[in-house]
Structure 1
Amino acid sequence: MGFSAVNTGNNLLFLVVSGLLAFMSVTGYAGMRNIKGLAPEIVPPAEIFAESAAPFRLRIHNTRRHGASFLVRLECPGGQGVTFPLIGSGDSAEGSIPLTFPDRGHAAIDRLTVSSPFPVNFFTRYWTYATGCNFIVFPRLQAGVTIGDGDEAKRQGGASRHDRGLDGELERISTYSGREPLRMIHWKLSARSEELLVKEFGRQTAPPLVIDLDSLPGLGLEQRISRAAWLVRRWVGLRPVGLRCNGRIIPAETGRHHGRKLLAELALYGRD
């Protein structure tokens, strides 16, 4: 159209071209200002397992003192992202996306892209920010058989019978066999019966479970690591769990923090 205006000398075409150029300039400035002053952030979850979708939180903060941002999209590498219709000045917005990683070990999301088609959805303007988000992907979980040290029997599945002990809750009344201590005899019920009856309690503290990576069943190292990770995730909240691998032993402890320590050890096994 510009060449036509020059060649023909038509003033109307000159006006139309000038108006279009002015419109592009104004919308371009408004579009760039719309994404200026935005601070994106990505927050990984506490536990990320290979081949399983993990919910990552995407946050963006409008640092400008004046002026809202419209139709802002925050994306990770790969195209997954969240669109925020409106972010007021000084306000923040947050969304969640599921991300899946194929393998265990160190991983990172090194950049985030902020884009917007504002104001007329003709051009999409974007800005790329470095994030430095590093995290560890835990091994893929694969259910297996619980193998403990000592005289603990093998168990399979999610449920197991509580062992008999002296410090748990009262489970039942049974006949005295001669092996129980005298303080376990229920004297009131025994007085009404022709035989001695004893109280049976469950065990409140379970024995430690030390997972030997080399002795776990599996077709290869990766499958044994996946089964060890499942054992850690399954039992670390209920009993002390330790790990024996690569010639070293991590002592058995309980708690979520200790479980993540064991999972990180399995995730980085052979990857350092």
Structure 2
Amino acid sequence: MDRPRSARAGAGPAVTPEPSRLARALASARRWLRPPRVLRPTRAGWMFFLITFGVGFAALNTGNNLLYLVLSLMLAFLVLSGVLSESTLRGIRVRRRLPRELFAGAAATVGLEITNEQARVASFAILIEDRVLEDGDEKREAGRCFALRIGPGETILRFYSFTAKHRGPIRFVEFKVFTRFPFGLFSKSLSLESEDSALVYPGIEPLSVPPDFGGARDLGDGICSAVGAGAAVSGLREYANGDPLRRIHWRSSLRRGTLFVRQVESEQQREIEVRLRTAGQRPGEAFERAVRWTASEVIALLETGSRVSLRTDEALIPADHGAFQRGRLLGFLAEVTAGARVSEAS
């Protein structure tokens, strides 16, 4: 067995290789050939088309001037619908706000900043659909949100709930902007390219810290090496995500207007090593269950203020505590694979 190596700190969006020159050329050609707008009649639109066709057929056969007048009004109605819907979509810009952490199988809130860059014309009945690409799958809908009215130069914030299917890197690739304004006869849409990368952490199961810190389970993950029995307070620092709530110093927090926690001496903290067996394991539900359980143990132990390290058959992440270590360990577990080496976290 190879000697375990240390994994570097840091977890974040996966670094994807630069596309080739041919791939960039093909992508550019697709953008040029793609129509700027997609127009689809609604059910009411098809009904209106049939009525218009019937009126036109009757006008041609009878020569009735009143029918010609009605036909011209109906055609003008279609033209007006196209003009107003175009004025609604023009100038729409969308920016995505991703949450700090995404967990597989857990709902997360994604924010969308929708801006109408037009100076004088408002936009109405805007539907935004976000699209995501997960693990080489086809693009799918991540979520939708609706804005009834966006004034000229106005920016509004809308939210939708997104649930990642599995852990690992994902890419949000584009927005689809729809409107049925003004009469609901057509659904006009345009695509806005907007790429954001994110790293989905393993799903977390709520658990308490096991009373027994020894032993290993059949799936390969276990806890061992409890060092130290307490912690001495050495000062105060600002609260960081992942710090245990029991360490908040409420008196200082109220006096300064922000949360502060008690800083402890690191050498007095309990140091715990969590193990995940990767050698000889096969990709599948059993290994994914082991990764989820390991991630759950890591979170539970860090919330107690312990210094936690992670060891697999190919890598070792040294012990540390706090929010930085939380992201470091979860980022490593988001990309760990069974039966093979994992790339060092960058």
Q: TM-score normalized by structure 1?
A: 0.74
| Match in the other structure for 2:297 | 231
Q: Distance in 2 between matches of 1:61 and 1:246?
A: 50
Amino acid at match of 1:235: L
1:125 aligns with 2:191: no
| Match in the other structure for 2:155 | 92
Q: Distance in 1 between matches of 2:206 and 2:84?
A: 55
Q: Distance in 1 between matches of 2:226 and 2:143?
A: 50
1:243 aligns with 2:324: no
Deviation at 1:17, TM superposition (A): 0.8
Larger Rg belongs to? 1
Are the equivalent residues in 2 in contact too, given 1:56–1:97 (CA < 8 A)? yes
| Match in the other structure for 1:184 | none
| Match in the other structure for 2:58 | 4
Q: TM-score normalized by structure 2?
A: 0.60
Query: 3-state SS of the aligned residue for 2:102?
Result: coil
1:112 aligns with 2:175: yes
Are the equivalent residues in 1 in contact too, given 2:112–2:158 (CA < 8 A)? yes
CA distance 1:139–1:209, shift in 2 (3 Å): same
Are the equivalent residues in 2 in contact too, given 1:164–1:203 (CA < 8 A)? no
Are the equivalent residues in 2 in contact too, given 1:143–1:227 (CA < 8 A)? no
Deviation at 1:239, TM superposition (A): 2.5
Query: 3-state SS of the aligned residue for 1:214?
Result: coil
Q: Distance in 2 between matches of 1:247 and 1:128?
A: 44
1:222 aligns with 2:280: no
**1:216-261 deviation digits (Å, cap 9, x = unpaired):** xxx9321221111112222335232221124211112222233112
Amino acid at match of 1:115: F
| Match in the other structure for 1:257 | 324
Q: Distance in 2 between matches of 1:22 and 1:260?
A: 59
Identity of aligned residues (%): 26
Query: 3-state SS of the aligned residue for 1:267?
Result: helix
CA distance 1:120–1:79, shift in 2 (3 Å): farther
Q: Distance in 2 between matches of 1:262 and 1:234?
A: 13
Q: Distance in 1 between matches of 2:79 and 2:142?
A: 28
| Match in the other structure for 2:9 | none
Q: Equivalent of 1:21, from 51, 62, 75?
A: 75
Q: What CA RMSD, in Å, does the superposition of the two structures yield over aligned residues?
A: 2.7
Amino acid at match of 1:245: T
Are the equivalent residues in 2 in contact too, given 1:49–1:139 (CA < 8 A)? yes
Q: Of the two structures, which has the highest relative contact order with CA contacts closer than 8 Å and spacing of 6 or more?
A: 2
Deviation at 1:51, TM superposition (A): 0.9
1:50 aligns with 2:104: yes
Amino acid at match of 1:265: F
Q: Distance in 2 between matches of 1:26 and 1:164?
A: 74
> Structure 2: 5+ residue runs without aligned partners?
1-54, 132-140, 214-221, 235-263, 279-284
CA distance 1:23–1:151, shift in 2 (3 Å): closer
Deviation at 1:164, TM superposition (A): 5.0
